[in-house]
Structure 1
Amino acid sequence: MILSAGDAAPDFDLPASGGGRIALDALRGHKVVLYFYPKDDTSGCTLEAQGFNALLPEFEAAEGRIVGMSPDPVKSHDKFCGKYGLAFPLASDEEKGVLGAYGVWVEKSMYGRKYMGVERTTVLIDREGRVARVWPKVKVPGHAEEVLAALRALP
């Protein structure tokens, strides 16, 4: 079940890059860009992370916080962040409970083979913890800029 604007964003408290934890509740009062991606250090995921990272000062100036999430372990996230200088946290959902709650852990198909994986999706969450907008099946080019524009339009 994919979320819609106005829905309460499912809470989470997960281990994150840098050895800490990231909880949605702790981000209350900020606008949150929660983006879900399939795998650290793959071409599309790297481009997406670099896009958000390049605009991080603008997101922060608009009172936004960026959180990336995938099923990769924290050790993989730390390596990914170090390799590309990512300055925002990456949450690790190895159990896939949060990915499921947001409706992004789905059946995919490649070369006729079916498997479970993350559907690249971004969720913009308002200061009160409600979904403001969802971008399903994200195409990476220009995506960070589009999300930034939507974040700036949020009160």
Structure 2
Amino acid sequence: MPKSYTDELAEWVKQREATRPRQDKNVVAFLAVREKVQSGIDAGYALKTIWEHLHETGRIPYRYETFLKHVHRHITNAAKRSEVVPAPAAANPAPAEATPKAGKQAEPTPRKAGGKGEKPAAIPGFTFNANPDKKDLL
């Protein structure tokens, strides 16, 4: 009796899954050599050179594009994430006497011009006006 299509399809899927490489083994291989890659980058070697050496020695079996993706995800972005450290939350709130009274408002401290994080009052650029000025028309 011939096999049903679903049985034939199930066998094909099992065979296909066995031959397809798993991506997680590439991540594991990269994480195993991540410190070596980082030291190579710090020494000034090009990523292509580092990949060629690791690929020829058999430490990583995948393509250069995959290597770049892992470098970007696990080294470049990890360095950016470690630089941005959130401010710790205040463990103890301010005492009640130190807070201003209900009738008084605390004045904001003035900032110096050109300070870091200060935004300009208005961003110069194009603004659309639906009612044109007659003197600006040709």
Same fold by TM (over 0.5)?
no
Q: Which of these two proteins has the greater Rg computed from alpha carbons?
A: 2
- Flag the structure with more relative contact order, 1 or 2, with Cα contacts below 8 A and sequence separation at least 6: 1
What range is the shorter-chain TM-score in? under 0.3
| Structure (1 or 2) with the greater strand fraction | 1
TM-score by length of 1: 0.21
TM-score by length of 2: 0.23
| Structure (1 or 2) with the greater helix fraction | 2
